Amino acid sequence: MTHATLNLNGKSYELPVLVGTEGEVGIDISDLRAKTGAITLDNGYANTGSCTSAITFIDGEQGILRYRGYPIEELAEKASFEEVSYLLIWGHLPNAQELAEFRHRVTYHSLLHEAMKKLFEDFPITAHPMAVLSAMVASLSAYYNREDEEPDLNIARLIAKTNTIAAFCYKKSIGQPFVYPRNDLSYTQNFLHMMFAVPAEPYKISPVLDRALNLLLILHADHEQNCSTSSVRMVGSSRTNLFAAISAGVCALWGPLHGGANQEVLQMLKAIRDDGGDYRKYVNLAKDKNSGFRLMGFGHRVYKNFDPRARILKKAADAVLQEMKVADPLLDIAKNLEEVALHDEFFIERKLYPNVDFYSGIIYRAMGIPTEMFTVMFALGRLPGWIAQWREMKDDPKTRINRPRQIYTGATTRSYLPMEQRTASTEPAMLQERELVLV
Ligand code: ACO
């Protein structure tokens, strides 16, 4: 198959066809408008490839996720978050020297410019940590965006400093003094230290927490062209700086239909518990379209069989809670909810399965991380993926500024009305959407 044929208004056009290394087929419509005058319309981009990419492969029907060819199950079991970050950004697993250098960089650049501490102080204590995180990541460009520096230095800075920023967001929210990073600790250990240590007493980092955090960050590290990653690429395509592009990704992640779902899941599980634990009632509520209620942590645009990350996390949730000797009734509610939904026609028909956010919150909760910080944790994990995708976009000679088209459905041309001729009834009527005419 080398081309597809399009018939439009009695004319026939040949469009080139691309096949990816895993057999995915794409019809290249780059010249469509120039050739035909028409554009494509694809609500939510569900059928639109925005780029070619060699970073992450997903087969939603089979429940497959691979970073640079490595199955997520293998990386989750064997790798460290630093190794996975390196793999995503530079395309291969680091050798011992490369890993040591990378670790050194993301440790030694972890201090924030002291002036940035003042920025934290000016936020209200009630600020959502994602508001603070997005602002702080964008602010890094005010302190560290010198053009004469080696390009990869800012990548190391961003990874190192976001760890510190994330922990500072938490300290700020509970009114405790910031705890500075330590150079003798790994990336995940440093995060736990900055989150949970207090000046009054020594803090011992639990290896269980360290392993759990490593796993969670790896599972979130990349997920090809999702909403936040596409935002990073979109914003980055204007050639804005790395920090500004990543800050856009943080903002996109915040929404409850994306990374914000992990916070929503926990809030939903708590609500079910407080309502007497009747999970069936909530499954029924989710099936009732008029209720406006969705089972948070269920469904995925791409996975239509199972989310492999959710599978790994379900097992990990059991293990972490056991190791930490925590019994959490919310885990039982989550399992029951999953069981009921998986056997319900509504969910089966629509191929709705638990996604990565369904079990991650239970583990974060057991680790002592508050609900409002969940999406920050997601952002910390997704950071290497965003950076890898930004770098690939920037270095791809085919990249053009991202600028989608539209089908205009507003008013046709009309004349400006002087104030005295405007009535309440003329204006709103004009704003109504026009019917799309299919020819
Ligand atoms: N609960 C109940 N019904 C659902 C759910 C849900 N969680 N998700 C989808 N549906 C139903 C929809 O009502 C729709 O039904 P219909 O065909 O009868 O109209 C059908 O399933 C398809 O749903 P869409 O919203 O069209 O699917 P889309 O691909 O646009 O959205 C999304 C995917 C946003 C993840 C959606 O499933 C959802 O809102 N889930 C809950 C939020 C969530 O968990 N988000 C995290 C996603 S993972 C991540 O970002 C890391």
- Closest residue (by CA) to atom 12 of ligand 1? 350
Mean pLDDT for 180-207 is: 94
Quick: pLDDT tens for 122-133. Answer: 999 999 999 999
Task: Select from 86, 110, 114 the least CA-distant residue to 100.
Answer: 86
Mean pLDDT for 245-257 is: 97
Quick one: pLDDT at residue 202? 87
Task: Work out the mean pLDDT of the chain and round it to a whole number.
Answer: 93
Q: Ligand 1 pocket: which of 347, 355, 359, 380 to mutate (most atoms <8 Å of CB)? A: 355
Quick: pLDDT tens for 120-170. Answer: 999 999 999 999 999 999 999 999 977 778 889 999 999 999 999 999 999
Quick one: pLDDT at residue 434? 52
What share of the chain has pLDDT > 70, as a percent?
A: 96
Quick one: pLDDT at residue 435? 55
Residue 37 has pLDDT above 50, yes or no: yes
What values do phi and psi take at 61, rounded to 5?
-70, -40
Distance of CA 140 to the CA centre of its chain: 20
Quick: pLDDT tens for 351-371. Answer: 998 998 888 988 999 899 999
Quick one: pLDDT at residue 209? 93
Domains and CATH numbers, the chain: 3-59 (2.20.28), 67-409 (1.10.580.10)
- Closest residue (by CA) to atom 44 of ligand 1? 297
CA–centroid distance, 351 to ligand 1, in Å, is 10
| Distance in angstroms (rounded) separating the CA atoms of residues 232 and 248 | 6
Whole-angstrom CA distances from 233 to 209, 228, 393, 403 are 33, 9, 7, 11
Rounded to whole angstroms, the maximal C-alpha distance in the chain is 79
Quick one: pLDDT at residue 313? 93
CA–centroid distance, 386 to ligand 1, in Å, is 23
Residue 439 has pLDDT above 80, yes or no: no
Strand partners, 15: 4
Quick one: pLDDT at residue 225? 98
| Distance in angstroms (rounded) separating the CA atoms of residues 387 and 246 | 7
| Distance in angstroms (rounded) separating the CA atoms of residues 14 and 135 | 47
Ligand 1: residues with CB < 6 A are 44, 257-259, 261, 286, 294-301, 350, 352, 355-357
What share of the chain has pLDDT > 90, as a percent?
A: 81
Q: Ligand 1 pocket: which of 268, 289, 294, 342 to mutate (most atoms <8 Å of CB)? A: 294
- Closest residue (by CA) to atom 20 of ligand 1? 350
- Closest residue (by CA) to atom 22 of ligand 1? 350
CA–centroid distance, 268 to ligand 1, in Å, is 15
Q: Ligand 1 pocket: which of 257, 279, 309 to mutate (most atoms <8 Å of CB)? A: 257
Task: Select from 22, 19, 17, 21 the least CA-distant residue to 5.
Answer: 17
**In this structure, are residues 386 and 157 in contact, taking their beta carbons and an 8 Å threshold?**
no
Residue 433 has pLDDT above 60, yes or no: no
* Residues whose CB falls within 8 Å of the CB of residue 179, separated by 6 or more in sequence, listed in order: 167, 171, 193, 194, 195, 197, 198, 199
Active site residues: 300, 357
Quick: pLDDT tens for 260-270. Answer: 889 899 999 99
Residue 275 has pLDDT above 70, yes or no: yes
Quick one: pLDDT at residue 55? 98
CA–centroid distance, 347 to ligand 1, in Å, is 10
Residue 431 has pLDDT above 50, yes or no: no
Quick: pLDDT tens for 305-332. Answer: 889 999 999 889 888 888 888 888 998 8
- Closest residue (by CA) to atom 46 of ligand 1? 258
CA–centroid distance, 300 to ligand 1, in Å, is 6
3-state secondary structure of 17: strand
- Closest residue (by CA) to atom 21 of ligand 1? 350
CA–centroid distance, 297 to ligand 1, in Å, is 9
